[in-house]
Each structure stands twice: as C-alpha cells, then as structure tokens.
Amino acid sequence: MEVLIEAHNLHKSFGETRAVDGLSLRVAAGEIYGLVGPDGAGKTTTLRLLCAVLQLERIKGGQPASIRIGGYDAVRQTELARAQIGYLPQRFSLYDDLTVLENIRFFAEVRGLSSADWRPRCMEILGFVGLDPFVDRLAGHLSGGMKQKLGLAAALVHRPRVLLLDEPTTGVDPVTRQDFWQLIIRLASQANHEPSVAVLVSTPYMDEAARCTRVGFMRAGRLLMEGKPVDLTLRLKDQILELRGHPLDLLRRLAGADQDVEDAQMFGDRIHLRTRLGKRFEVEERLKQLIVSEGGEIVQLRPVAPQLEDVFISLSDQAVSPS
Amino acid sequence: MSTQVIRATDLTRRFGDFTAVDHISFTMDSGEVVGYLGPNGSGKTTTIRMLLGLLIPTAGEASVLGYDVVRQAEQIRERVGYMSQKFALYHDLTVGENLTFYAGVYGERSRARLAEVLELVGLNQLEGERVSDLPSGWRQRLALGTAIVHRPRLLFLDEPTSGVDPTARRAFWDLIYTLVAEGVAALVTTHYMDEAEYCGRVGIMRDGKLLAMDTPSTLKASALPGLTWDVFLDGAGESVASSLLEALNALETCSCVLRAGLVSDHLRAITPADVSAETLRQRLGEAGVAGLRVEPAEPTLEDVFLALAAR
C-alpha cells in the first residue's frame, strides 16, 4: 500500500518540556492508525507537526527530522503537503451564526475549491456525514454530535488523502461515536470509488483503539510500542484471568497479594489479573481455595483474551513506577 | 443508618431558549457512589453547579445535606467537597502549598490533617514538588486532596478522570472507594461508560434529561429488550475494518436483530430473548455474510445508553 504519512525523528519542545521526543511514524492508504496515550503524552503536538503548523526542531548531532505527506516534503513543499491533509482539531471552531451549508462553503473556499465545484462537493460531503437534511440550520443550533460531524465534513471538503483526527469522539454521545466510526472506516476502505484515505486518529478510548488497523501507545513524547491490536494483545496471551465475585475489595486484595499475580485491576465490575508467564493454572487453583477460606465468594474465575487496556497497563508498569 | 444527602425534585435550568437540565428528580444516600453518566453537553456539570448553589435553578428544587440550594448555598459549600473538570490548582506552587491554601479557605488549621490528606492521596513524598512538574495523574490526586481537606461528607467529582491514562484512572477509583469506606458519599460525572460500572448506582443523562438511575445490573436488565450477542470476524485478515462494516450492514438487515453496533474490534447485536446463536448465524448467512463467530455477551452500560437513547 502507498505510504501517505511518513515521519522520521520528530522533536518538539516547549520550554523545558519535551512534547515530542524522537517519534517516527508511517501510515499507509487504507490504514486507520490509533494514537493512544494520556493528556500531555504528545498526541496533539504530533498531529500539529504533521500538519506543518508547528516548526520541527533540530537536534544537534541527531538524525535529521523529516515529514512526507502524500509524497510531498512538509518542510520544502509545505503548501502541497498541506493540501493533502484534512485536520480535525480537538477544539474545532464553527461559525455559530452561519448555516451548515455556509460553514462548509467557507471551508471549501479557503481550501480553494472553484465556484463550480464547491456546491456539488459540499452537498456530497454533507450527505456522507448525514447532515444533508440540515443544510439551512444555523451551526449554533446543532447538537454536539452534529457539530462534530460538520467538523469532519469541513476537514474532508477538499478530498484529502490524509485525515488527522484529534480525539474526535472524546465526550461525544455514544450514538454519535457509533456513526463517526462508521464514517472513518468507510473513508479508509475506499467507499464512494474515491481513493482510500490514511487516517491518523488519537483517542482516549481503548475500545476504539482495538478496531484500528494499527495502534501506537504514546507516553512522554515517545511511542512506547506500536502494532496491530491482535499482535499487541498476543503479548499477554494466557496471562489474563478474569475474576468475578464478592466482596470485590477482598477478592482484589487476595488476588493482588498472590506471588504470581503481577497486577490486579478493576475492569468494570470484575477484576483482571495479570499472571506471571506460565503461572496461570497455579494462580487459578490457589485463589479458588484461598478466597473461599477467607469468606469470599467466586462467581467466575476464568482465563480471558487480553484486551488492549491490559497491554497498556502492563506497559505503563514497565515505563514508570510512581514514587 | 443512611441519611439522604441529595434530594432533587424537577430540577430545571434554562439558558435562554436552551434547556440544559430538564426536570430531573433523584435522591442519594450517605455512603453511596453514584455515577452521573452522559456525553458532553448533556447537563451533568449544570446539575452539579445547581446542587452546589452556584447556579440558581429555573424551576424545581433541591436540597444537599438538608440545606436548600437556593437559600442555604453557603452552608452547602462549607460542607461538601468539589473537584471541577479543570483541576483548580496553582501550578507555580508546590503540592504542600496548594493544600495549605485550600485548607485555609476552609478554615482547617491542623497540620496533622494536611499530612493525613497527603498520605491518603499518595503524595506524601511529593509535598515539595511544584505542580507544574507533576504528571496529570498526580495533579488529579492533588485536586482530590484539596477537595477533601475539610472532611466533607459529600463529594462532587466532575469528570475527575478525563485525560488521564487508564492506570491512573483505575488508581483514582481505588481512592474514591477508600474515601467511601470512611463514610463519604460521592457523585461522580464521567463520559467513560466503563467507569460507571464501578458505581453503586448510575444515572444516565442525555439532552438535559435523566433517562434512568439505578444499579448497573438493574439498568441492564430493564433497559435492554432482549439478548446481547458478540459477533466476531475471525481471520478476516487485512481488511478487518471494511469487513466489519459489511457484517454490520448485514446484521442491521436481519429481522431478528433489534440493534447492531460496533464494539471494540467486533460487533454487538441485541435480539429478542427467543433468538438462538444458531438462528442468528443462519440469518447472517442468508444476508450474505458467512463464517462469523456468534457468542452470548454480557451487556455493558454503553448498550444500556444506546437502548435508552433510541427510545
């Protein structure tokens, strides 16, 4: 597949803070790459570097930084590179006193669409995001989810090959989140006979990350690990036990104290135990006896397929140990 | 003995012609952890601001710890702890200085209490660190510390876990439960559906309306019209994403499927209670998608939200 985002050795500091610290990334057409990490990990700075709205930093004696977007050098051919990009920032501004169509027309004209071209394209893209029944509504009167879809439409109006989405679904209604992801998937998978798009999306939701083609875990400006979700979860194969029962705090305390349990975390109303490699059966047997003898009740104790969140937590444990 | 700490009756707030909170009624007892779940803009923060006496209700009434939110706002604010979405911390002060400042605001003079709070939130080693040097997970703990320094019996935590990583989120919930074990009640807003599973009861907000409030298990039993299924596309290979959409479209055309959606890397289907895995697989085959793995699933609060939102 054609590589549409190619970034090498990106650095960016703000004062003493290294926001992005030697990051390299490749995303091909048709891929949805999920960037996961806490606030301050460098996700937004990475996206802004790729848009060439922030200047790259030179590191003395280090490898030179480079960004190519759709084949264009983001430093020497900035305008050409930018023309390939649709960017939906975390705080997207619309003109509340303009209608949906007027808003999208504004973005179309900024992006240089001709007067012959803008109307059919605007209607097409509004249809794609499902806002065509609302073309005459003032943007200020849209629901949060509709505003987010209008933002996506604005980012797509000039038919970019590269789509950069900065936490597009954070705090968004689950109904909209469903719709929004269906749109992302359609863009990446050659819908509408248009060439497929490379999508780079940052998200705090692990369940969204799990449906990306590839995922990168970020912390302190670096990519700690990247890969296909299935390959990442394979790293913890046969190590995760799910424990349900009562009382939860007793169960968690007993499980957490087991010599072969590396970590015991609440996953909703159940506990996930990460066991040492090859020790799963022993832990299972020991806990079955111990919990009952301590007056607890096990509703279920079983091995489960690891989730991305398990992987992320195990990585965090290795990366930093607080205090 | 549990006592009522919050009682809201038809609480309503309009801003111009926009109704941010629309006739919500609920009660909350001491020792409870209630999750207040909903997307941005659904009215969660407006509710909290009314309960704190910071915003006058347009209609309806509420009392907190027995005090009326309109006439006795002072008494409420002295007795509750509040952690806002944007942690209100002084970044150029140290951890200890921030805590001392808030202790002063609440008239708490005991050094021993400050030490106790630092210990409780796990920041006793970091008392001298400047807040600007702390990662977000630790700032969040400090913000909670400043909210509990005066030993409130009721805590309002407004999206306390936004923007922190999963490990810190989990540790934060442990902390909430440590406080609850000491007799504190907490109303916690969140837009993470999975977090609400930790709460004793969960209220689901959408467009200013409280759609339901109950225990997670009761919500799942009452709001969902039938059985919940996971549908996996094993070995779909490279184009998992696009085959997900094909399978989703097929699911949506099946007459036995009440609702279908994306969940994690697979699909979720809700069917009437009399549909079997075999039937579902067969129907999918007839709709042109074969080779899917269908397994019974446990519903999540996200399923509940989607079901309630569709009503």
Residue that has been written with the tokens 């008392």 in this structure: B127
Residues B277 and B150 in one domain: no
Average pLDDT over residues A300-320: 84
pLDDT confidence of B73, banded at 50, 70, 90?
A: very high
Phi-psi region of A112 (alpha: psi -120 to 50; beta: other; left: phi over 0): left
Looking at the complex, report in whole angstroms how far the Cα of residue B306 sits from the nearest Cα belonging to chain A. 6
What was the pLDDT predicted at B205?
A: 94
- Chosen for mutation from A169, A219, A266, A308 (greatest number of chain B CBs closer than 10 Å) is A266
Predicted confidence (pLDDT) per residue in A202-234, tens digit: 998 888 999 999 999 998 899 999 999 999 999
Average pLDDT over residues A142-146: 85
Residues B192 and B244 in one domain: no
Residues B93 and B193 in one domain: yes
Average pLDDT, chain A: 90
Looking at the complex, report in whole angstroms how far the Cα of residue B159 sits from the nearest Cα belonging to chain A. 10
Interface of A with B in 147-206 (CB under 8 A): 170-176, 178, 181-182, 185-186, 188-190, 204-206
CB B36 within 8 A of CB B51: no
Q: What residue ranges in chain A does DSSP mark as E strands?
A: 3-14, 17-28, 32-36, 66-69, 72-73, 85-88, 162-166, 198-203, 214-219, 222-227, 240-246, 261-267, 270-275, 297-303
The CATH architecture one would assign to domain A3-84+160-228 is 3-Layer(aba) Sandwich (3.40)
Pick from A98, A94, A220, A89: nearest CA to A165: A89
> What type of residue is A113?
L
Q: Where are the domains of chain A?
A: 3-84+160-228, 238-305
Residues B159 and B242 in one domain: no
What was the pLDDT predicted at A323?
A: 33
Predicted confidence (pLDDT) per residue in B256-282, tens digit: 999 999 988 889 999 999 999 999 988
Residues B233 and B115 in one domain: no
How many Å apart are CA B118 and CA B121, to the nearest integer?
A: 5
Residues B47 and B91 in one domain: yes
The nearest alpha carbon in chain A to B139 belongs to: A39
Predicted confidence (pLDDT) per residue in B151-197, tens digit: 999 999 999 988 777 888 888 888 898 888 888 999 999 888 888 88
Predicted confidence (pLDDT) per residue in B22-62, tens digit: 999 999 999 899 999 988 889 999 999 999 999 999 999 99
Within 8 A by CB and 6+ apart from A31, the residues are A1, A188, A198, A199, A213, A214
DSSP B189-241: EES-TTGGGGSSEEEEEETTEEEEEE-HHHHHHHH--SEEEEEE-TT-GGGHH
Which of B151, B181, B214 terminates a domain? The answer is B214
CATH value of A238-305 in 3.20.20.70, 3.90.1150.10, 3.30.70.100, 3.40.1160.10: 3.30.70.100
Structure tokens at B249: 């479209």
Question: Is the CB of B197 less than 8 angstroms away from the CB of A37?
Answer: no
Residues B117 and B159 in one domain: yes
Residue that has been written with the tokens 């407004």 in this structure: B158
Residue B125 has pLDDT above 80, yes or no: yes
Within 8 A by CB and 6+ apart from A83, the residues are A111, A158, A160
Within 8 A by CB and 6+ apart from A124, the residues are none
Residue B71 has pLDDT above 50, yes or no: yes
What's the 3-state SS for B2-43? CCEEEEEEEEEEEECCEEEEEEEEEEEECCCEEEEECCCCCC
Pick from A98, A285, A88: nearest CA to A203: A88
What was the pLDDT predicted at B278?
A: 92
Domain contains B106 = yes
CATH of the domain at B233: 3.30.70.100
Q: How does DSSP classify residue B129? A: S
CATH of the domain at B148: 3.40.50.300
How many Å apart are CA A138 and CA A140, to the nearest integer?
A: 5
Average pLDDT over residues A154-173: 92
- SS3 label, residue A309: helix
What was the pLDDT predicted at A321?
A: 41
Which of B166, B194, B214 terminates a domain? The answer is B214
pLDDT confidence of B1, banded at 50, 70, 90?
A: low
Average pLDDT over residues B88-96: 93
Pick from A229, A239, A313, A243: nearest CA to A271: A243
What was the pLDDT predicted at A191?
A: 54
Domain that holds residue B97: 4-214
CB B94 within 8 A of CB B127: yes
